């Protein structure tokens, strides 16, 4: 159920340069793929909340993982343990689990954030998971040991070759998507999602992608986050119809 509430910050950690992990006392039951809309300031400046995916959700805690890219996330990073955080959520839909026993999960950069909870959910469901983690460089492959611990097969790709294979992460994932009758999941930059969607379509795999958009209200009213889709509807809202979409439904630019 959607809730507006203030949760206590238990821990605010820097997990890599420019990347924070925020642990909150649990007050929200969220599924993998959902997000919360965070009020980053006590004032109305900045006016809009900031959407952050649920990185993990357990009995006692709700965890967010975020990159500081601008004023909103910098204000969020300045918050300390013991303070409270005003949250609206959980919002959006979640990653569906299918009857396929195998899954291929592809992450690009901070797109890995919601996939941690997905990997944990897939593991709990007994799925055999191949995880492909791509980033610009080694420093941006954050929490890699924690991701590695959840999966049967773990592969890394970086643009500069500082860790894993020097390649696009989709190049690593392509032969596995081709050869394995698995459900494919992805979150990351749009060109990466477009290529994952193309590969999944080419080999007839079910594929689900989590999209980002500039998002204002978060509850479907403002229509600021629409993305073009195939079919009669033409557009769908990332905040309430997504952020997870069947890859075949989306028009990637
Ligand atoms: C459903 C959803 C889930 C998200 N989950 C996470 C997450 O788990 N971790 C994380 O680090 N980030 C996540 N984001 C992106 C995050 O919301 C933006 O980085 C954040 O709003 C930037 O706010 P800012 O004030 O720090 O930066 P701003 O100063 O507002 O912007 C800095 C830069 O970020 C871009 N930006 C701003 N808002 C968004 C947005 N909503 N989507 C994409 N780009 C944006 C701007 O174009 C600009 O280039 C998510 C976005 C969506 C829509």
DSSP letter string, 179-234: HS--EEEEES-HHHHHHHHHHHHHTT--EEEE-----SSSSSSS-TTEEEBSSTT-
Q: Does residue 141 sit in the same domain as residue 39?
A: no
83 and 111 fall within a common domain: no
User: Is 3 touching ligand 1 by the criterion CB < 6 Å?
Assistant: no
The reply to whether 124 and 179 lie within a common domain is yes
C-alpha angle 188/212/134, rounded to 5°?
A: 10
Would you put residue 200 in left (φ > 0), alpha (ψ -120 to 50) or beta?
Answer: alpha
Does residue 107 sit in the same domain as residue 216?
yes
Model confidence pLDDT, tens digit, residues 101-119 = 999 999 999 999 999 999 9
Tokens of 64: 């967010």
For residue 188, is it within any domain?
yes
Asked whether 212 lines ligand 1 (CB < 6 A), one says yes
140, 212, 239: residue to mutate for ligand 1 pocket, most atoms within 8 A of CB: 212
Distance CA 64, CA 139 (A): 19
Q: What is the pLDDT of residues 155-178, one digit of tens each?
A: 999 999 999 999 999 999 999 999
> 69 CB less than 6 Å from ligand 1?
yes
Residue 97 in any domain: the answer is no
Domain boundary among 91, 111, 126: 91
Per the structure, how many domains does the chain have?
2
For 14-35, what is the mean pLDDT?
A: 94
* 51 Cα: distance to centroid of ligand 1 (angstroms): 7
Please check whether residues 86 and 106 belong to one and the same domain: no
pLDDT of residue 233: 86
Position 232 pLDDT exceeds 90: no
Q: Quick one: average pLDDT of 214-236?
A: 92
Q: Is residue 122 part of a domain?
A: yes
Protein residue with least CA distance to atom 19, ligand 1? 69
Same domain, 85 and 122: no
224 shares a domain with 107: yes
If you measure from the C-alpha of residue 179 to the centroid of ligand 1, how many angstroms do you get, rounded to a whole number?
A: 35
Domain shared by 126 and 208, yes or no: yes
134 shares a domain with 77:
no
Which of residues 91, 113, 139 is at a domain's end?
A: 91
Work out the percent of the chain whose per-residue pLDDT is above 70. 99
**Mean pLDDT of all residues in the chain?**
95
Is residue 96 in some structural domain?
no
Any ligand 1 atom below 6 A from CB of 243: yes
Q: Whose CA is nearest to atom 37 of ligand 1?
A: 214
Question: Could you tell me if residue 76 is inside a domain?
Answer: yes
What is the pLDDT, as a whole number, of residue 2?
66
Q: Is residue 146 part of a domain?
A: yes
For 87-114, b where at least 16 C-beta lie within 10 A, e where not — what string? bbbbbbbbbebeebebbbbbbbbbbbbb
Residue 63 C-alpha to ligand 1 middle, in angstroms? 17
Confidence of residue 12 (pLDDT cuts 50, 70, 90): very high
Atom of ligand 1 nearest to the CA of 54: 8
Q: Determine the structural domain holding residue 39 and report its residue range.
A: 3-91
107 and 87, same structural domain? no
Last residue of a domain, one of 38, 68, 91: 91
Give the CATH number of the domain where residue 226 resides.
3.40.50.80
Query: Tens digits of per-residue pLDDT, 128-138?
Result: 999 999 999 99
Q: How far, in Å, CA of 202 to CA of 205, rounded? A: 8
Which CATH number fits the domain that encloses residue 50? 2.40.30.10
**Are 71 and 124 within one domain?**
no
List the residue whose alpha carbon is closest to atom 27 of ligand 1: 70
Residue ID of nearest Cα to ligand 1 atom 52: 212
- The number of helices, as runs of H, and strands, as runs of E, in the chain is 5, 16
Q: Do 18 and 107 lie in a common domain?
A: no
Residues 43-88 have pLDDT tens digits of 889 999 999 999 999 987 999 999 999 999 999 999 999 999 999 9
């Amino acid at each position: 159920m959607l809730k507006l509430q203030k949760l206590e910050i238990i821990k605010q950690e820097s997990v890599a340069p420019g990347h924070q992990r925020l642990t909150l006392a649990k007050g929200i039951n969220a599924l993998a793929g959902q997000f919360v809309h965070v009020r980053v300031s006590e004032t109305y400046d900045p006016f809009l909340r900031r959407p952050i995916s649920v990185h993990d959700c357990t009995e006692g805690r709700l965890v967010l993982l975020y990159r500081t890219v601008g004023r909103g996330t910098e204000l969020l990073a300045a918050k300390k343990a013991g303070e409270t955080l005003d949250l609206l959520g959980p919002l959006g839909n979640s990653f569906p689990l299918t009857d396929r026993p195998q899954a291929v999960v592809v992450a690009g950069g901070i797109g890995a954030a919601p996939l941690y909870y997905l990997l944990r959910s897939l593991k709990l469901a007994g799925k055999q998971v191949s995880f492909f983690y791509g980033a610009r460089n080694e420093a941006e492959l954050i929490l890699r040991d924690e991701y590695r611990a959840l999966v049967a097969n773990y592969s890394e790709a970086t643009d500069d070759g500082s860790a894993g294979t020097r390649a696009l992460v989709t190049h690593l994932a392509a032969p596995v998507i081709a050869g394995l009758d698995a459900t494919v999941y992805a979150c990351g930059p749009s060109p990466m999602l477009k290529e994952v969607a193309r590969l999944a379509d080419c080999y007839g795999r079910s594929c689900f992608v989590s999209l980002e958009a500039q998002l204002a209200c978060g509850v479907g009213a403002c229509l600021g986050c629409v993305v073009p889709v195939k079919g009669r509807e033409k557009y769908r809202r990332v905040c309430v119809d997504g952020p997870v979409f069947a890859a075949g439904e989306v028009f990637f630019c």
